[in-house]
Amino acid sequence: MAYSDKVLDHYENPRNVGAMDSEEGSVGTGMVGAPACGDVMRLQIKVSDDGIIEDAKFKTYGCGSAIASSSLVTEWVKGKTLDEASEIKNTAIAEELALPPVKIHCSVLAEDAIKAAVNDYKKKQGSQES
Amino acid sequence: MDLSKNFFQLFALPISFDIDMSKLMDAYRSLQKVVHPDHFASGTDKEKRLSIEMAAHLNEGVDTLKKPVKRAIYLLKLQGIDVDFEKNTAMSPMFLMDQMELREQLEAVAKQADPFIAIDALYERIAVMQKERIEDFKAAYNRITSDIGSGDNNGDGNNGNAEDIVAEMQFVEKLRIDVERLEETLD
């Protein structure tokens, strides 16, 4: 199966690989996994006081499509509000990367990772306020 | 041979996660002899087709029961629970963190002075994780079957739990396969 040029580009030059301090209040961490292929994905967002995602980092162990999907969403979420980021759909990721049907679950994983990171951040904020 | 029997019945085994592997293989071999397509080389087209179907059914059966993850999924299926790995991405964060760490270790194996020691350490941890999950699965499976027995199978109980454990079993198995693959490239 051939990867699309965009997948290869993200796979060979992944954007925003790395880790943030998950203990920090402004950081939301999303960890998701795909049992079918054993992929594991960590997506982290750094959120400004006015609720804008300033920075994003990821670390993914998995196939090229999973790495490309997470790399792409780190680019997409930057500058977005939490609500805007949560609205990113896996279909948009799959379309942008021209993922074949058997790799759609990689884009689902990336979508779930964003939601998990946003939820983690919100949970932290909630517990700080109370 | 009855194609409507479940795989446990087919090999005359009790429906359980723990199976007697030598009984399974004995039953498989004796059934295989009976249905082997070679015996029907001079038979009718219908007989040939049936023997191929049965041989395929046997192979699928033995493959399903031999492998712990497949056996667990099949046991749940017999209880009316379909495990769908594609939908289940919200796994335990602790488990995923361990997996991430193990993947990092695996990535670093080739850089170690003695990569085989690092490989062995990974195998050991994987074996422990597999064992823990098998015990957890058996307990969860027992809860499901006893719930059904007492007529309390309304689907909101512990079923999700068993599915989550199977997902983790599958995850650990994939990791083990990747460790094996790496090991093969080392020597």
Whether residue B182 sits in one domain with residue B132: yes
Q: Cα angle vertex A60, ends A55, A65, to 5°?
A: 105
The verdict on a CB contact (< 8 Å) between B85 and A61 is no
Residues of B in contact with A38 (CB under 8 A): 99, 170-171, 173-175, 178
Number of domains chain B is built from: 2
Nearest chain A residue to B166 by CA distance is A35
Overall average pLDDT of the B26-46 stretch: 87
Overall average pLDDT of the B88-106 stretch: 87
Please report the pLDDT score of residue B158 as a whole number: 41
Whether residue B177 sits in one domain with residue B117: yes
Name which of B89, B95, B174 is nearest A112 (Cβ-Cβ).
B89
- Of B49, B46, B1, B48, nearest to B28 (Cα)? B1
Which one-letter amino acid corresponds to residue B35?
V
> Which residues, at least 6 apart from A95, have a Cβ–Cβ distance to it below 8 Å?
none
A4 DSSP assignment: P
Structure tokens belonging to residue A21: 């301090």
The sign of the torsion formed by the CA atoms of A71, A77, A83, A84 equals negative
pLDDT (tens digit per residue) in A33-48 = 988 888 999 999 999 9
Residue A130 has pLDDT above 60, yes or no: no
The region of weakest confidence among B81-85, B87-91, B110-114, B130-134 is B87-91
CA B11 vs. chain centroid, Å, equals 17
Structure tokens belonging to residue B85: 């790995």
Percentage of chain A modeled with pLDDT above 70 = 97
Calpha distance B125→B136 (Å, rounded): 17
Q: Please say whether the beta carbons of A97 and A68 come within 8 A.
A: yes
pLDDT-based confidence at residue B80 (cuts at 50, 70, 90):
very high
- Kindly name the residue from A37, A40, A92, A104 that is annotated as catalytic: A37
Mean pLDDT estimate for chain B: 88
**A108 — contact with chain B (CB < 8 Å)?**
yes
Whether residue B98 sits in one domain with residue B61: no
Query: In sequence order, what are the beta bridge partners of A27?
Result: A46
- Of A67, A53, A58, nearest to A10 (Cα)? A67
Whether residue B125 sits in one domain with residue B48: no
Please report the pLDDT score of residue B17 as a whole number: 97
The verdict on a CB contact (< 8 Å) between A34 and B175 is no
Residue B150 has pLDDT above 60, yes or no: no
pLDDT (tens digit per residue) in A85-111 = 999 999 999 999 999 998 999 999 999
Nearest chain B residue to A106 by CA distance is B86
Name which of A61, A105, A112 is nearest B90 (Cβ-Cβ).
A112
Task: Tell me whether residue A63 is one of the annotated catalytic residues.
Answer: no
Whether residue B107 sits in one domain with residue B182: yes
Residue B106 has pLDDT above 70, yes or no: yes
- Of A93, A106, A116, nearest to A6 (Cα)? A93
Instruction: Identify the H or E element spanning B2.
Output: none
Overall average pLDDT of the B75-97 stretch: 85
Overall average pLDDT of the B22-44 stretch: 89
**A109 — contact with chain B (CB < 8 Å)?**
yes
**A110 — contact with chain B (CB < 8 Å)?**
no
Calpha distance B63→B53 (Å, rounded): 15
Structure tokens belonging to residue B111: 């850089």
Structure tokens belonging to residue B5: 């029997």
Q: Please say whether the beta carbons of B141 and B17 come within 8 A.
A: yes
- What counts of helices (H) and strands (E) characterise chain B? 7, 0
Domain-embedded: residue B77: no
Whether residue B27 sits in one domain with residue B107: no
Residue the block writes with tokens 């068993």 = B162
**Residue-range definition of the domain harbouring residue B24:** 7-66
Whether residue B97 sits in one domain with residue B179: yes
Domain-embedded: residue B76: no
The verdict on a CB contact (< 8 Å) between B96 and A31 is yes
Percentage of chain B modeled with pLDDT above 70 = 89
Whether residue B180 sits in one domain with residue B106: yes
Name which of B86, B95, B175 is nearest A38 (Cβ-Cβ).
B175
Domain-embedded: residue B168: yes
- Residue A32's SS3 state is strand
pLDDT-based confidence at residue B88 (cuts at 50, 70, 90):
low
Q: What is the pTM of this model?
A: 0.82
Return the CATH number at B44: 1.10.287.110
Overall average pLDDT of the B129-151 stretch: 85
pLDDT (tens digit per residue) in A5-22 = 999 999 999 999 999 999
